[in-house]
């Protein structure tokens, strides 16, 4: 889903896992390690208890909610939402941001 820049300054697009299925990707995912892309590090710099919720939409695309807590497990909830669309090949999408918010 995310790509990183290589030495030539272009994005790397590794193939999705051969056994990838959209059904297995749906649901709630918990972060177990902090291995960040630059963009993720900007959003998640003070995040703990990070999770990703993936849910199908009626149009065949997916909604992705990236949720975390600020600095402590009791911290304010932060949410960045997006839509995963134009899947090609299976398991690789374009992400369109919907909103980012902090819940008080």
Compute and round to an integer the Cα radius of gyration of the chain. Answer: 15
Q: What tens digit of pLDDT does each residue of 53-103 get? A: 999 999 999 999 999 999 999 999 988 899 999 998 888 899 888 766 665
Structural element, H or E, at residue 22: helix 22-25
Beta pairing, strands 47-56 & 62-70? antiparallel
Residue with tokens 């600020």: 70
* pTM of the complete model beyond 0.85: no
CB of 29 closer than 8 Å to CB of 52: yes
> What is the structure's pLDDT at 46?
87
Q: How far is CA 75 from CA 30, 53, 61, in A?
A: 17, 19, 31
């Amino acid at each position: 889903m995310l790509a990183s820049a290589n030495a030539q300054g272009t994005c790397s697009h590794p193939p999705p896992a051969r056994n990838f299925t959209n059904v297995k990707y749906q649901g709630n995912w918990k972060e177990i390690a902090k291995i960040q892309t630059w963009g993720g590090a900007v959003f998640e710099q003070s995040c703990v208890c990070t999770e990703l919720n993936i849910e199908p939409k009626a149009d065949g695309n997916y909604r992705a909610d990236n949720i975390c807590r600020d600095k402590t497990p009791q911290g304010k909830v932060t949410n960045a939402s997006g839509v995963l669309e134009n899947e090609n090949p299976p398991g690789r999408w374009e992400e369109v941001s919907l909103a980012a918010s902090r819940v008080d």
